[in-house]
Amino acid sequence: MSTTLRHAEYYDMQKVFDDLYERSENNATKGVNLYKHIILKENILLAYRNIKANTGSKTEGTDGITIDHYKMKDVDSFVNNIRKTLVDYKPNTVRRVEIPKSNGKKRPLGIPTMRDRLIQQMFKQVLEPICEAKFYKHSYGFRPNRSTHHAMARCQYLINRGRFNHVVDIDIQGFFDNVNHSKLLKQLYNIGVTDKRVLTIISKCVLWVDNKYKSISL
Protein backbone atom coordinates (compact mmCIF):
# COMPACT_ATOMS: atom_id res chain seq x y z
CA MET A 1 0.00 0.00 0.00
CA SER A 2 1.39 3.42 -0.97
CA THR A 3 2.07 6.12 1.62
CA THR A 4 -0.46 8.42 -0.07
CA LEU A 5 -3.18 5.77 0.16
CA ARG A 6 -2.40 5.07 3.82
CA HIS A 7 -2.70 8.78 4.58
CA ALA A 8 -6.02 9.01 2.73
CA GLU A 9 -7.45 6.08 4.68
CA TYR A 10 -6.12 7.48 7.97
CA TYR A 11 -8.01 10.74 7.42
CA ASP A 12 -11.08 8.88 6.12
CA MET A 13 -10.93 10.57 2.71
CA GLN A 14 -10.52 7.49 0.55
CA LYS A 15 -14.29 6.88 0.53
CA VAL A 16 -14.80 10.40 -0.82
CA PHE A 17 -12.17 9.89 -3.51
CA ASP A 18 -13.62 6.51 -4.51
CA ASP A 19 -17.09 8.05 -4.79
CA LEU A 20 -15.79 10.87 -7.01
CA TYR A 21 -13.98 8.33 -9.22
CA GLU A 22 -17.16 6.27 -9.62
CA ARG A 23 -19.24 9.37 -10.35
CA SER A 24 -16.72 10.45 -12.98
CA GLU A 25 -16.80 7.02 -14.63
CA ASN A 26 -20.58 7.38 -14.91
CA ASN A 27 -20.43 11.03 -16.08
CA ALA A 28 -22.23 12.10 -12.90
CA THR A 29 -19.98 14.82 -11.47
CA LYS A 30 -21.88 17.75 -13.00
CA GLY A 31 -23.34 19.86 -10.22
CA VAL A 32 -21.29 18.19 -7.46
CA ASN A 33 -20.08 20.67 -4.82
CA LEU A 34 -16.36 19.93 -5.07
CA TYR A 35 -15.41 22.99 -3.04
CA LYS A 36 -17.17 21.43 -0.04
CA HIS A 37 -14.87 18.40 -0.30
CA ILE A 38 -11.77 20.53 -0.82
CA ILE A 39 -12.23 22.52 2.40
CA LEU A 40 -13.09 19.50 4.53
CA LYS A 41 -10.97 19.42 7.67
CA GLU A 42 -9.88 15.89 6.79
CA ASN A 43 -8.80 16.91 3.27
CA ILE A 44 -6.79 19.88 4.58
CA LEU A 45 -5.02 17.70 7.15
CA LEU A 46 -4.38 15.05 4.51
CA ALA A 47 -2.79 17.67 2.25
CA TYR A 48 -0.56 18.78 5.13
CA ARG A 49 0.45 15.18 5.85
CA ASN A 50 1.25 14.41 2.20
CA ILE A 51 3.35 17.56 1.78
CA LYS A 52 5.21 16.96 5.03
CA ALA A 53 6.10 13.44 3.84
CA ASN A 54 7.66 14.93 0.69
CA THR A 55 11.37 15.82 0.74
CA GLY A 56 10.48 19.16 -0.88
CA SER A 57 8.71 20.25 2.30
CA LYS A 58 12.03 21.69 3.49
CA THR A 59 12.40 23.81 0.35
CA GLU A 60 11.49 27.47 0.84
CA GLY A 61 9.35 29.57 -1.47
CA THR A 62 9.60 33.34 -1.88
CA ASP A 63 8.42 33.86 1.71
CA GLY A 64 11.21 31.74 3.22
CA ILE A 65 8.75 29.40 4.97
CA THR A 66 8.98 25.60 5.12
CA ILE A 67 6.40 23.07 6.34
CA ASP A 68 7.81 23.40 9.87
CA HIS A 69 6.10 26.80 10.08
CA TYR A 70 2.73 25.03 10.16
CA LYS A 71 3.29 22.85 13.21
CA MET A 72 -0.01 21.44 14.46
CA LYS A 73 -0.31 23.16 17.84
CA ASP A 74 -3.91 24.16 17.16
CA VAL A 75 -5.47 22.05 14.40
CA ASP A 76 -8.80 23.90 14.27
CA SER A 77 -7.09 27.29 14.00
CA PHE A 78 -4.85 25.96 11.22
CA VAL A 79 -7.82 24.60 9.27
CA ASN A 80 -9.86 27.79 9.68
CA ASN A 81 -6.96 29.96 8.52
CA ILE A 82 -6.62 27.90 5.34
CA ARG A 83 -10.35 28.20 4.69
CA LYS A 84 -10.23 31.97 5.19
CA THR A 85 -7.33 32.20 2.74
CA LEU A 86 -9.50 30.65 0.02
CA VAL A 87 -12.31 33.20 0.45
CA ASP A 88 -10.30 35.79 -1.49
CA TYR A 89 -7.37 33.69 -2.63
CA LYS A 90 -4.43 35.17 -4.47
CA PRO A 91 -1.34 33.00 -4.96
CA ASN A 92 2.04 34.32 -3.90
CA THR A 93 4.86 34.85 -6.36
CA VAL A 94 6.81 31.76 -7.39
CA ARG A 95 10.53 31.38 -6.71
CA ARG A 96 12.27 30.59 -10.00
CA VAL A 97 15.33 28.36 -10.07
CA GLU A 98 17.17 26.68 -12.93
CA ILE A 99 17.96 22.97 -12.89
CA PRO A 100 20.79 21.56 -15.07
CA LYS A 101 19.69 19.17 -17.84
CA SER A 102 21.64 16.23 -19.26
CA ASN A 103 22.29 18.16 -22.49
CA GLY A 104 24.05 20.97 -20.62
CA LYS A 105 21.11 23.37 -20.78
CA LYS A 106 19.00 24.46 -17.83
CA ARG A 107 15.32 23.91 -17.12
CA PRO A 108 13.41 26.64 -15.26
CA LEU A 109 11.51 25.45 -12.21
CA GLY A 110 8.93 27.37 -10.20
CA ILE A 111 8.78 26.79 -6.43
CA PRO A 112 5.50 27.99 -4.86
CA THR A 113 5.28 29.10 -1.24
CA MET A 114 4.34 26.44 1.30
CA ARG A 115 0.87 27.97 1.70
CA ASP A 116 0.23 27.70 -2.04
CA ARG A 117 1.61 24.16 -2.16
CA LEU A 118 -0.78 23.17 0.61
CA ILE A 119 -3.76 24.65 -1.24
CA GLN A 120 -2.68 23.07 -4.54
CA GLN A 121 -2.45 19.70 -2.79
CA MET A 122 -5.96 20.12 -1.36
CA PHE A 123 -7.32 20.72 -4.87
CA LYS A 124 -5.23 17.92 -6.40
CA GLN A 125 -6.56 15.33 -3.95
CA VAL A 126 -10.19 16.04 -4.87
CA LEU A 127 -9.74 16.62 -8.61
CA GLU A 128 -7.39 13.71 -9.25
CA PRO A 129 -9.94 10.86 -8.93
CA ILE A 130 -12.31 12.69 -11.29
CA CYS A 131 -9.59 13.11 -13.90
CA GLU A 132 -8.11 9.64 -13.40
CA ALA A 133 -11.44 8.06 -14.28
CA LYS A 134 -11.35 9.80 -17.67
CA PHE A 135 -7.67 9.54 -18.60
CA TYR A 136 -6.47 7.05 -21.21
CA LYS A 137 -5.54 3.80 -19.47
CA HIS A 138 -2.18 3.55 -21.26
CA SER A 139 -1.01 7.06 -20.37
CA TYR A 140 1.77 6.84 -17.78
CA GLY A 141 3.22 10.32 -17.26
CA PHE A 142 2.61 12.38 -14.11
CA ARG A 143 -0.04 9.99 -12.78
CA PRO A 144 -0.35 8.23 -9.40
CA ASN A 145 1.02 4.68 -9.12
CA ARG A 146 2.45 4.85 -12.66
CA SER A 147 6.00 5.26 -13.86
CA THR A 148 8.36 4.79 -16.80
CA HIS A 149 8.58 1.11 -15.79
CA HIS A 150 4.89 0.66 -16.56
CA ALA A 151 5.36 2.39 -19.93
CA MET A 152 8.32 0.13 -20.75
CA ALA A 153 6.35 -2.96 -19.77
CA ARG A 154 3.53 -1.87 -22.08
CA CYS A 155 6.01 -1.34 -24.94
CA GLN A 156 7.50 -4.78 -24.35
CA TYR A 157 4.02 -6.31 -24.42
CA LEU A 158 3.22 -4.63 -27.74
CA ILE A 159 6.57 -5.69 -29.22
CA ASN A 160 6.01 -9.32 -28.22
CA ARG A 161 2.46 -9.25 -29.52
CA GLY A 162 3.15 -7.83 -32.96
CA ARG A 163 5.90 -6.91 -35.38
CA PHE A 164 6.70 -3.40 -34.30
CA ASN A 165 10.08 -2.13 -35.47
CA HIS A 166 9.82 1.64 -35.02
CA VAL A 167 9.87 3.92 -31.98
CA VAL A 168 8.77 7.56 -32.17
CA ASP A 169 10.26 9.98 -29.64
CA ILE A 170 8.43 13.32 -29.46
CA ASP A 171 9.18 16.21 -27.12
CA ILE A 172 7.24 19.46 -26.80
CA GLN A 173 9.69 22.28 -26.16
CA GLY A 174 8.90 24.32 -23.05
CA PHE A 175 5.48 22.69 -22.66
CA PHE A 176 4.75 23.81 -19.10
CA ASP A 177 5.81 27.39 -19.83
CA ASN A 178 3.81 27.69 -23.05
CA VAL A 179 0.70 25.53 -22.64
CA ASN A 180 -2.60 27.39 -23.06
CA HIS A 181 -4.08 27.43 -19.56
CA SER A 182 -7.49 28.64 -20.72
CA LYS A 183 -7.82 25.52 -22.87
CA LEU A 184 -6.71 23.35 -19.96
CA LEU A 185 -9.44 24.84 -17.79
CA LYS A 186 -12.02 24.13 -20.48
CA GLN A 187 -10.74 20.56 -20.67
CA LEU A 188 -11.10 20.31 -16.90
CA TYR A 189 -14.72 21.42 -17.24
CA ASN A 190 -15.35 18.91 -20.03
CA ILE A 191 -13.88 16.12 -17.90
CA GLY A 192 -16.47 16.86 -15.23
CA VAL A 193 -15.08 19.56 -12.94
CA THR A 194 -18.00 21.98 -13.23
CA ASP A 195 -17.93 23.60 -9.79
CA LYS A 196 -17.55 27.28 -10.73
CA ARG A 197 -16.03 28.24 -7.40
CA VAL A 198 -13.31 25.65 -7.87
CA LEU A 199 -12.64 26.73 -11.46
CA THR A 200 -12.52 30.39 -10.42
CA ILE A 201 -9.88 29.72 -7.78
CA ILE A 202 -7.83 27.66 -10.23
CA SER A 203 -8.08 30.48 -12.77
CA LYS A 204 -6.56 32.85 -10.19
CA CYS A 205 -3.36 30.86 -10.27
CA VAL A 206 -0.54 32.87 -11.75
CA LEU A 207 2.87 32.32 -13.25
CA TRP A 208 5.78 34.51 -12.23
CA VAL A 209 7.48 35.23 -15.53
CA ASP A 210 10.12 37.90 -16.12
CA ASN A 211 9.14 39.65 -12.88
CA LYS A 212 5.55 40.04 -14.04
CA TYR A 213 2.32 38.27 -13.22
CA LYS A 214 0.87 36.31 -16.09
CA SER A 215 -2.72 35.57 -15.17
CA ILE A 216 -4.76 32.58 -16.27
CA SER A 217 -8.29 33.38 -17.39
CA LEU A 218 -11.29 31.18 -18.04
The residue extents of the domains of the chain are: 3-209
Specify the 3-state DSSP secondary structure of 74.
Answer: coil
Residue range 29-34: mean pLDDT, rounded: 95
Spatial contact of 214 and 55, defined as CB atoms under 8 Å apart: no
Q: Which residue did the predictor score with more confidence, 133 or 98?
A: 133
Q: Looking at residue 41, what DSSP letter applies?
A: H
Residue 64 amino acid letter: G
Q: What pLDDT, on a 0 to 100 scale, did the predictor assign at position 214? A: 56
**pTM across the whole model:** 0.86
- Nearest-angstrom CA–CA distance, 19 and 99: 39
The yes-or-no verdict on residue 7 having pLDDT over 80 is no
Residue ranges in the chain assigned as alpha helix (H): 3-10, 14-25, 34-38, 41-52, 75-87, 114-132, 148-161, 175-178, 181-191, 196-203
pLDDT band at 208 (very low <50, low <70, confident <90, very high): very low
